[in-house]
Amino acid sequence: MKTKKKIIRNNEKGIQKYRFLIQSAFALLCIWIGIDFYLFVHYLESGGSAAFYRRPPGVDGFLPISSFMSFYVFLSTGKIDPAHPAGMFIFLAIVLVSLVFGKSFCSWLCPVGFISELIGDFGEKIFKRKFTPPKWIDYFLRSLKYILLGLLFYAVFFLMGEATVNAFLNSPYNQVADIKMFYFFADISRFALIVIGLLFVLSVFIRNFWCRYLCPYGALLGLVSLFSPNKIKRNPVSCIDCGLCAKACPASLKVDKVKTVWSDECTSCMSCVDACPVADTLDLKSLYTKKKISKKAVAIGVVSIFMAVTGIAIITGHWQNDITRKEYLIHYKMMDTYTHPTGGAAIKEFKKETEESSSSLNKTSFLKNEADRNKAKQVLR
Ligand code: SF4
Ligand code: SF4
């Protein structure tokens, strides 16, 4: 006969309210950056006659590929990309946060993750249930984000290499990549709008559709998180097998069936810990010291690491870029002629060009035709 376990109730307060507040604060910060950037672009559109607004460096956080390349060049040469220095530090902060607290950036700070979560909550409210695709479809879809990440790694490390990545970072295309991104959304194409709409609808039915299946950033952080020394641990002795933790998990992990959650999908959101009704049964713990890490410490830790790394960038003068107002106005006029190599053949050609040419050509080799290249060389001289 099974003996009933003596239960000591978990009276610890939940952390989800604070997680929501931190996510909201971060989303508001992003909106603020967006408004500042709009005013900066408006200044450029006016040809310099409107009031000047300084470009907010935080916008670099929305250039993950450029930031990733910049991090690669920093690791290889110690140089920081002067066009988007903040991006490199934001990238470093996000990777560090994931190394310490798992994929926590996704559930505590990322504005896209936050919106995804809100859409998922809305879907669950309407349909009163969670939809999960069959396992084989789920595994197949989850592999997509790793394929996208793999392609990026292949292009950066194998097709380009350090010198070509450096040339790309110095190119005018990279210097105005943030402005180009702004116009991608401001003048959004019908196709892009349909894709975003589709992702929205899919996220109503399948929680975190974008994050779970398509985000290459999430894939990278998921891989980094596997090396995190802090994991969700279940005590099978005091566990009463109620399954509430698994039910609460937004990543649909079988928390109630394992002793340690080793998953690239765990975002350290602490929903399972909040849901567990038994004291000291489910916690985030250090694998080395075996000590429990409180939910508050996770909240404070995630925000502090992010603030500390970006704070170092500000204090050491690596936050603002070195592109002058005048240079921006010139770039803005020529921006439509700037392109970047797409596809393996174009990347190889660019690599060949950068290996053979002088640095002034590197800066202009993204331009579409000879006349534009000559014009740009004059400007950049
Ligand atoms: S296992 Fe727990 S901490 Fe990890 S995603 Fe699921 S609910 Fe969040
Ligand atoms: S919530 Fe999970 S860990 Fe806690 S008692 Fe229930 S099954 Fe066990």
Higher per-residue confidence, 378 vs 305? 305
Counting from 1 in the atom list of ligand 1, the atom nearest the Cα of 284 is 3
- Predicted confidence (pLDDT) per residue in 67-79, tens digit: 999 999 999 988 8
Mean pLDDT of 34-42: 97
Domain ranges for the chain, please list them: 16-380
- Predicted confidence (pLDDT) per residue in 298-335, tens digit: 999 999 999 999 999 999 999 999 899 999 999 998 88
Inform me whether the pLDDT recorded for 372 exceeds 90.
no
Regarding the beta carbon of 255 and ligand 1, being less than 6 Å apart is answered yes
Regarding the beta carbon of 166 and ligand 1, being less than 6 Å apart is answered no
Burial 100-110 (b: 16+ CB within 10 A, else e): bbbbbbbbbbb
Ligand 2 centroid – CA 282 distance (Å) = 7
Any idea which ligand is nearest the CA of 251?
1
Which residue's C-alpha comes closest to atom 5 of ligand 2?
Answer: 239
The per-residue pLDDT for 378 is 56
Ligand 1 centroid – CA 261 distance (Å) = 8
Partners of 318 in the β-ladder = none
Mean pLDDT of 174-193: 93
Counting from 1 in the atom list of ligand 1, the atom nearest the Cα of 248 is 7
| Rounded Cα distance, 278 and 272, in Å | 12
Query: How far does Cα 354 stand from its chain's mean position?
Result: 29
Identify which of 245, 252, 255, 281 to mutate to test ligand 1's pocket (most ligand atoms within 8 A of the CB).
Answer: 255
Which residue's C-alpha comes closest to atom 6 of ligand 1?
Answer: 249
- Predicted confidence (pLDDT) per residue in 120-159, tens digit: 999 999 988 878 889 999 999 999 999 999 999 998 888 8
Mean pLDDT of 233-255: 95
The per-residue pLDDT for 5 is 66
Identify which of 239, 259, 260 to mutate to test ligand 2's pocket (most ligand atoms within 8 A of the CB).
Answer: 239
